[in-house]
Amino acid sequence: MAKKVDKRKKIHAKLRKNLVGTTERPRVSVFRSNKEIYAQIIDDSKGHTLVSTSSTAKTIAGQKGNKIEIAKLVGVELGKAAVAAGIESVVFDRSGYIYHGRVKSLAEGAREGGLKF
């Protein structure tokens, strides 16, 4: 199992070489555990997290559905919070995960919430 995690971290390091969040266009970082999914919008130039949400948030934790549906709700919530904070355009950092399943669903939900990738 350690090999799988190490492989993902290696892919993430390669992605992060060219992927930088600026003040005008911050970075959406995704972390996926076995049960939960977390997303945050980061301004790398200042090193600050601007907006964050997860499947453990009070508004989402009580929802029924499978993990893909919950990930979409997290994306919509992230998009709404970002638009409320004045963020419209972002760079998507999949953190070495395959753009499939929960990661893809979160990205689609964020687009529905008002973010532009």
What's the confidence (pLDDT) of residue 42? Answer: 96
Give the DSSP per-residue string, 21-48: --SSS-EEEEEE-SS-EEEEEEETTTTE
Domain borders along the chain are 2-113
Residue 111's pLDDT band, with cuts at 50, 70 and 90, is very high
Half-sphere exposure of 105 (CA within 13 A, CB side): 15
Question: Is 79 within 8 Å of 112 (Cβ atoms)?
Answer: yes
What are the CA-CA distances from residue 2 to residues 23, 37, 46 (Å)? 35, 20, 32
Question: Is 19 within 8 Å of 2 (Cβ atoms)?
Answer: no
What's the confidence (pLDDT) of residue 105? Answer: 98
CA distance 19 to 72: 23
CATH classification code of 2-113:
3.30.420.100
User: Given a cut of 80, is residue 2 above it in pLDDT?
Assistant: no
Summarize pLDDT for 90-101 with one digit per residue, the tens: 999 999 999 999
Residue 46's pLDDT band, with cuts at 50, 70 and 90, is very high
Residue 1's pLDDT band, with cuts at 50, 70 and 90, is low
Average pLDDT, the chain: 94
Summarize pLDDT for 4-17 with one digit per residue, the tens: 999 999 999 999 99
What's the confidence (pLDDT) of residue 71? Answer: 97
What's the confidence (pLDDT) of residue 62? Answer: 87
Angle, vertex CA 18, rays to CA 12 and CA 19, nearest 5: 70
Residue 38's pLDDT band, with cuts at 50, 70 and 90, is very high
